[in-house]
């Protein structure tokens, strides 16, 4: 150790220095006054001071020791020859490292120095440990507050000072309950004293509910924390420590995480909705494609209506609607198909009162219709109607009325898709029906005679072939009547071919009105006509032929303000009743009978000889 000797008796001072050095210690100086001791101690910072209590000058040894300990905390061993009570009381107040009575012996001096050295080592170790502990507490991110048994603050780290809004000198020695002000975050009621709860019970305490720390600088911090008793010597309670954690950043992170999770859920829901809409869109496109294919195979408009109805129910399962087409007259449209759960009637639609048809553009019910009244929709449904015109190359075909959901009126994406679907459906229907009508027209032209309106020879032969197979299967006869206009060439030569055409038109109209359901009458060629009479035995066939002949003879035909002379016809009949019969054979027999009627003088009915044998 490095020692400073303060002794005003020089002989004693030299002996002390010699003895101390003989023990292996160093002497940094020997002085005889308090003032000199203070100056030398400030310069050399000795480890121990051997101080005579009684010194000459204004400062005695005790006063000098007090001044040494205030800034430097250098331990002092008093040298004294006096042990009176007052002196010892004053000396004890300076907390000396020991006492050495004069005259001293070497063993006592050696013992005092060894004890002081040991104490110095212990103090140094304790100071190092405390410095490390304080540095650790100051470096952690949580606030640490320590109290003694009375609840008075003894320590607070930098984080605690920041949260409290105080300086260290404003904290140490102050009651914890007055320093750490906590309230319930939900009720804003003060939290009971941590000191009372921990030091009284002697058990740790954890704040399990939301807590706010009210700082002395006006800040309010959300916190969580724990408090625990401090014990020494195994179980002796000496104070408490509180650890407080400021959680505003964590709360913000948790809020951000919840918001991100909610946004993710919303995004996933939107994605699922979009996926379902896309799947529905693909399904609708498939239905529209199938509709186009199905309409391609339809042979009649009525068959096309049935196909369209099935597609409409699939495309608009929850939406009411109808297809209006002109069937009786171009100025009136009828509801040919309807779908959905609409309970209102579907009266005919007048083309002149429909703005959709007049302007050939799509209208949504919420748009103004220019004052026109819609015959197809009652007032309560009109605001929710999407009207799509059907036209091909500018020719109006009809109208699709779809009663949309309210979402379509407010810009909802599903409503926009529904409008697009209705438009695509209308386009497909228009194209499909136009093609069906075209095919039906071509078929009508292919099997009908344009002059008389009767079916032609080609249709007759196809129909007769089917009828003969059916008759042979079901065992019933088929009657055939072939007739020819008598002296038709004379009419053409006398009155012109237009008059001849007028005769054929009038005759065609008469014959069309004389057939039963299931019978077929056709213009076979020129002025020849043929009847097919299923399930007609010879007497019935003969009777029908005679009725036709009689009706023709009374037919009045006018042409160019001129009434043409009466006409007559010759008729030949045959009845097919065998499985070996063919179309050609049946017609040949009727033609032979007709030839016989011509040879017999015309204007008569002649049955084929096979009919006469059947009649017998």
Element (DSSP H or E) covering residue 290: helix 248-296
Nearest of 483, 588, 591, 609 to residue 545 by alpha carbon: 483
Nearest of 530, 526, 529, 531 to residue 501 by alpha carbon: 526
Nearest of 596, 603, 585, 605 to residue 540 by alpha carbon: 605
SS3 (DSSP) at 449: coil
Q: How far apart are CA 590 and CA 544, in angstroms?
A: 14
Position 88 confidence tier, pLDDT thresholds 50, 70, 90: confident
Cα radius of gyration rounded to whole Å, the chain? 63
Q: Which of 232-236, 359-363, 404-408 shows the lowest mean pLDDT across its residues?
A: 404-408
pLDDT above 50 (res 372): no
Q: How far apart are CA 439 and CA 531, in angstroms?
A: 27
Q: What is the pLDDT of residue 297?
A: 87
Q: What is the pLDDT of residue 377?
A: 57
Position 258 confidence tier, pLDDT thresholds 50, 70, 90: very high
Position 59 confidence tier, pLDDT thresholds 50, 70, 90: confident
Q: Which carries the bigger pLDDT value, residue 65 or residue 340?
A: 65
Q: What is the pLDDT of residue 269?
A: 93
Q: For 228-239, what is the HEC assignment?
A: EEEEECCCEEEE
pLDDT above 50 (res 366): no
Evaluated on CA atoms 558, 562, 568, 574, the torsion sign reads negative
pTM of the model: 0.51
Q: What is the pLDDT of residue 236?
A: 86
**3 conformational bin, left if phi > 0, alpha if psi -120 to 50, beta if neither:** beta
Right CATH for 2-127 from 3.10.450.50, 3.20.20.10, 3.40.50.2300, 3.90.79.10: 3.40.50.2300
Is the CB of residue 471 less than 8 Å from the CB of residue 534?
A: yes
Q: Which of 301-310, 427-436, 481-490, 606-615 shows the lowest mean pLDDT across its residues?
A: 606-615
Compute the average pLDDT of residues 41-53. 87
Q: What is the pLDDT of residues 455-476, one digit of tens each?
A: 998 888 888 888 888 888 888 8
Q: What is the pLDDT of residue 401?
A: 79
Is the CB of residue 358 less than 8 Å from the CB of residue 352?
A: yes
Q: What is the pLDDT of residues 427-460, one digit of tens each?
A: 888 888 888 888 877 877 778 888 998 999 888 8
Domains 284-445 and 448-615 share a fold: no
145: Cα within 13 Å, side-chain hemisphere: 30
* Percent of the residues in the chain that have a pLDDT greater than 70, as a whole number: 89
452: exposed, middle or buried (Cβ count in 10 Å: 0-12, 13-18, 19+): buried
How many CB atoms are located within 10 Å of the residue 562 CB?
10
Element (DSSP H or E) covering residue 34: helix 34-44
Q: Which carries the bigger pLDDT value, residue 336 or residue 418?
A: 336
Write down the domain spans for the chain.
Answer: 2-127, 141-246, 284-445, 448-615
Q: Which residues contact 606 (CB under 8 A, 6 or more apart)?
A: 570, 571, 572, 573, 593, 594, 596, 597, 600
Is the CB of residue 380 less than 8 Å from the CB of residue 365?
A: no
* Percent of the residues in the chain that have a pLDDT greater than 90, as a whole number: 32
Q: What is the pLDDT of residues 548-583, one digit of tens each?
A: 999 999 999 999 888 999 999 999 999 987 665 788
Evaluated on CA atoms 422, 427, 432, 437, the torsion sign reads positive
Compute the average pLDDT of residues 521-526. 91
pLDDT above 80 (res 406): no
Question: Which fold would CATH assign to domain 141-246?
Answer: Beta-Lactamase (3.30.450)
Position 124 confidence tier, pLDDT thresholds 50, 70, 90: confident
- Across 482-518, b (16+ Cβ under 10 Å) vs e yields bbbbbebeebbeebeeebbebbbebbbeebeeebeee
Q: What is the pLDDT of residue 551?
A: 95
Is the CB of residue 145 less than 8 Å from the CB of residue 138?
A: no
Kindly report the length of the chain.
616
355: Cα within 13 Å, side-chain hemisphere: 14
Mean pLDDT of the chain, nearest integer: 84
Site of tokens 């066939």: 541
Which class in CATH covers the domain with range 448-615? Answer: alpha beta
Q: How far apart are CA 104 and CA 499, in angstroms?
A: 173
Position 368 confidence tier, pLDDT thresholds 50, 70, 90: very low
Rounded to 10°, the helix 497-512/488-495 angle is: 130
Compute CA distances 457 → 204, 581, 587, whole Å: 113, 19, 11
Q: What is the pLDDT of residues 320-338, one digit of tens each?
A: 788 888 776 777 888 888 8
Q: What is the pLDDT of residues 584-611, one digit of tens each?
A: 888 899 999 999 999 999 999 999 887 5
Position 381 confidence tier, pLDDT thresholds 50, 70, 90: low
Does residue 581 have a cis bond before it (omega within 30 degrees)? no
pLDDT above 60 (res 379): no
Q: Which residues contact 579 (CB under 8 A, 6 or more apart)?
A: 472
Compute the average pLDDT of residues 74-95. 80
Q: How far apart are CA 435 and CA 429, in angstroms?
A: 10
Question: Which fold would CATH assign to domain 284-445?
Answer: Beta-Lactamase (3.30.450)
Q: Which carries the bigger pLDDT value, residue 86 or residue 273?
A: 273
């Amino acid at each position: 150790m490095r020692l400073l000797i303060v002794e005003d008796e020089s002989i004693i001072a030299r002996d002390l220095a010699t003895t101390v050095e003989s023990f292996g210690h160093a002497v940094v100086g020997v002085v005889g006054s308090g003032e000199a001791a203070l100056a030398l101690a400030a310069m050399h910072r000795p480890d121990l001071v051997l101080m005579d209590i009684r010194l000459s000058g204004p400062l005695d040894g005790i006063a000098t020791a007090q001044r040494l300990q205030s800034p430097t905390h250098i331990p002092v061993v008093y040298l004294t020859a006096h042990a009176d009570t007052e002196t010892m009381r004053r000396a004890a107040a300076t907390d000396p490292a020991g006492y050495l009575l004069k005259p001293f012996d070497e063993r006592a001096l050696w013992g005092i120095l060894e004890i002081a050295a040991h104490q110095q080592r212990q103090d140094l170790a304790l100071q190092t440990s405390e410095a490390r502990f304080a540095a650790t507490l100051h470096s952690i991110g949580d606030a640490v507050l320590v109290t003694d048994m009375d609840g008075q603050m003894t320590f607070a780290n930098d984080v605690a000072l920041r949260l409290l809004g105080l300086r260290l000198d404003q904290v140490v020695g102050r009651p914890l309950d007055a320093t750490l002000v906590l309230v319930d975050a939900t009720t804003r009621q003060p939290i009971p004293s941590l000191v009372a709860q921990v030091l009284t019970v002697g058990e740790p305490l954890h704040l399990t509910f939301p807590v706010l720390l009210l700082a002395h600088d006006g800040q309010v911090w959300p916190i969580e924390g724990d408090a625990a008793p401090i014990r020494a010597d195994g179980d002796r309670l000496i104070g408490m420590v509180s650890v407080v954690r400021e959680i505003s950043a964590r709360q913000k992170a948790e809020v951000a995480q919840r918001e991100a999770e909610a946004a993710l859920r919303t995004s996933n829901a939107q994605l699922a909705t979009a996926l379902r809409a896309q799947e529905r869109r693909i399904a609708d496109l498939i239905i529209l494609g199938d509709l186009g294919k199905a309409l391609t195979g339809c042979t009649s408009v009525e068959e096309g209506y049935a196909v369209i109805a099935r597609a409409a129910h699939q495309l608009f399962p929850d939406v009411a609607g109808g297809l209006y087409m002109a069937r009786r007259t171009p100025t009136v449209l009828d509801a040919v198909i309807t779908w959905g759960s609409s309970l209102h009637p579907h009266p005919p639609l007048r083309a002149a009162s429909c703005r959709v048809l007049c302007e050939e553009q799509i209208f949504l019910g919420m748009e103004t219709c220019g004052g026109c009244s819609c015959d197809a929709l009652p007032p309560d449904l009109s605001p929710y109607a999407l009207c799509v015109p059907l036209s091909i190359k500018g020719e109006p075909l009809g109208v699709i009325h779809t009663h949309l959901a309210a979402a379509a009126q407010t810009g909802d994406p599903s409503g926009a898709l529904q409008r697009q679907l209705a438009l695509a459906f209308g386009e497909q229907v228009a194209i499909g029906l136009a093609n069906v009508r075209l095919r039906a027209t071509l078929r009508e032209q292919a099997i009908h005679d344009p002059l008389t309106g009767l079916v032609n020879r080609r249709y007759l032969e196809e129909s007769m072939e089917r009828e003969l197979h059916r008759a042979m299967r079901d065992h019933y006869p088929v009657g055939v009547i072939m007739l020819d206009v008598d002296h038709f060439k004379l009419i053409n030569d006398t009155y012109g071919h237009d008059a001849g055409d007028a005769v054929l038109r009038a005759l065609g109209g008469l014959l069309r009105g004389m057939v039963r359901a299931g019978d077929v009458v056709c213009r076979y060629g020129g002025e020849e006509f043929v009847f097919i009479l299923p399930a007609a035995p010879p007497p019935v066939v003969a009777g029908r032929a005679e009725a036709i002949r009689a009706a023709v003879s009374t037919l009045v035909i006018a042409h160019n303000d001129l009434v043409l002379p009466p006409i007559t016809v010759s008729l030949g009949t045959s009845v097919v009743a065998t499985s070996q019969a063919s179309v050609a054979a049946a017609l040949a027999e009727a033609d032979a009978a007709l030839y016989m009627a011509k040879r017999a003088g015309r204007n008569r009915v002649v049955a084929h000889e096979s009919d006469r044998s059947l009649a017998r």
